[in-house]
Amino acid sequence: MADINHFEYGWITPALSYALSVLGSVLGLICAGRIRTAGTAGQRAWWGLLSAWALGGTAIWAMHFMAMLGFAVDGTRIRFDVPLTVASTVIAVVAVGIGLAIVGTGRLNPVRLVAGGVFTGAGVASMHYTGMAAMRLNGSLGYDTIRVVLSVVIAVVASTVALWLAMTVRRGLAIFASALVMGIAVNGMHFTGMSALSVHRHEGTGEVTGASVSTLLVPIVVAVIFGVVGLLYALLAAPNDDDRAAAAYLDGRRVPEPAAVTPVSAPDPVGLRARSTLGQPGTPFPSRRDTPPR
């Protein structure tokens, strides 16, 4: 059995992974709050998609990959299968998106919350072990069943709490405190699952195929940066509750424009208005000489 090191670079990788999970949780909770105040189904779908990307893509998957940077196995290189790595990202985002759709449609109740938490937690656990299956090394992977089950339970509980917070928390300080708790839960699930892993190294030293960590690091970092910037822009550009309240106040204070006054015609007892020539400038006044004989 090969020796495993989960913290090859010391405290840097777990600190960065925790920071990513907190950042994604903050953005995801804010976007989820916009789902409740959205006026149309299209707006709710838009904010649900952004929240799923922030929570599933940044808080969960990017945190997982950052923590994997510190993972090393003695005596073998580690490579990653790119399609499986991409699939793990899709699983995380889709699972969170479906969980938000379950709890965000209709009135929130315990049945919806538990159903969304179980589905999302199972998706998060699937993401984790799909990402582990994407590893390529000179050895075979084994897992301790009890710790695997424990990691799935943690994922389900953490997902249920995260969905509940996403639907109930609104204030800035509460959102930040909730993100700190969610970061602990996500990292706890990851490292619990990693502690269940054991590697039985093969005697041969064949070439390990796949993409290296350094090859995947640049596109992933760029995707995370653009994703965070895009989320911030969407949040800053969209009106919030205060903006809508201010607009409603200004509309209430606006003085209505007076209705247009219809001009009232002066009385015309002798019928002069019927003679169109009198209304034209420069027309001579008619005389009796111009009147034809009867």
Q: How far, in Å, CA of 4 to CA of 194, rounded?
A: 10
Q: Is residue 288 part of a domain?
A: no
Q: State the pLDDT confidence band at 90, using cuts at 50, 70 and 90.
A: very high
Q: Is residue 279 part of a domain?
A: no
DSSP 118-178: HHHHHHHHHHHHHHHHTEE-SEEEEE-HHHHHHHHHHHHHHHHHHHHHHHH--SHHHHHHH
Q: What's the rounded mean pLDDT across residues 87-105?
A: 89
Tell me the per-residue pLDDT of 197-219, one tens digit each, with 9 for 90 and over: 988 887 766 677 888 877 888 88
Q: Is residue 50 part of a domain?
A: yes
Q: Is residue 8 part of a domain?
A: no
59-68, 84-93, 214-223, 249-258: least confidently modelled range: 249-258
Q: What's the rounded mean pLDDT across residues 95-121?
A: 86
Q: State the pLDDT confidence band at 228, using cuts at 50, 70 and 90.
A: confident
Q: How many residues does the chain have?
A: 294
Q: Which amino acid is at 24?
A: G
Give the relative orientation of helices 110-133 and 172-195 as an angle to the nearest 10 degrees: 50
The residues, ordered by sequence, that sit 6+ positions from 197 with a Cβ below 8 Å of its Cβ are 4, 132, 141, 142, 143
- Check pLDDT > 70 for residue 180: yes
**The pLDDT of residue 288:** 56
The burial of 270, by beta-carbon neighbours within 10 Å (0-12 exposed, 13-18 middle, 19 or more buried), is given as: exposed
Q: Is residue 173 part of a domain?
A: yes
Q: How many domains does the chain have?
A: 1
Tell me the per-residue pLDDT of 126-151, one tens digit each, with 9 for 90 and over: 999 998 988 888 888 899 999 999 99
105-114, 155-164, 234-243: least confidently modelled range: 234-243
Q: What's the rounded mean pLDDT across residues 8-13?
A: 86
**The pLDDT of residue 110:** 87
Q: Is residue 226 part of a domain?
A: yes
**The pLDDT of residue 153:** 93
Q: Is residue 245 part of a domain?
A: no
Instruction: Please give the structure tokens belonging to residue 89.
Output: 């990202």
Structural domain for 166, as ranges: 21-71+81-203+217-239
Q: Is residue 274 part of a domain?
A: no
Tell me the per-residue pLDDT of 22-78, one tens digit each, with 9 for 90 and over: 999 999 888 888 887 777 888 888 888 999 999 999 999 999 888 888 888 888 888
Strands (E), the chain: 4-5, 72-73, 79-80, 135-136, 139-143, 197-201
- Check pLDDT > 60 for residue 120: yes
**The pLDDT of residue 260:** 61
How far apart are the two ends of the chain, measured CA to CA in Å? 133
- Check pLDDT > 90 for residue 87: yes
- Check pLDDT > 80 for residue 252: no
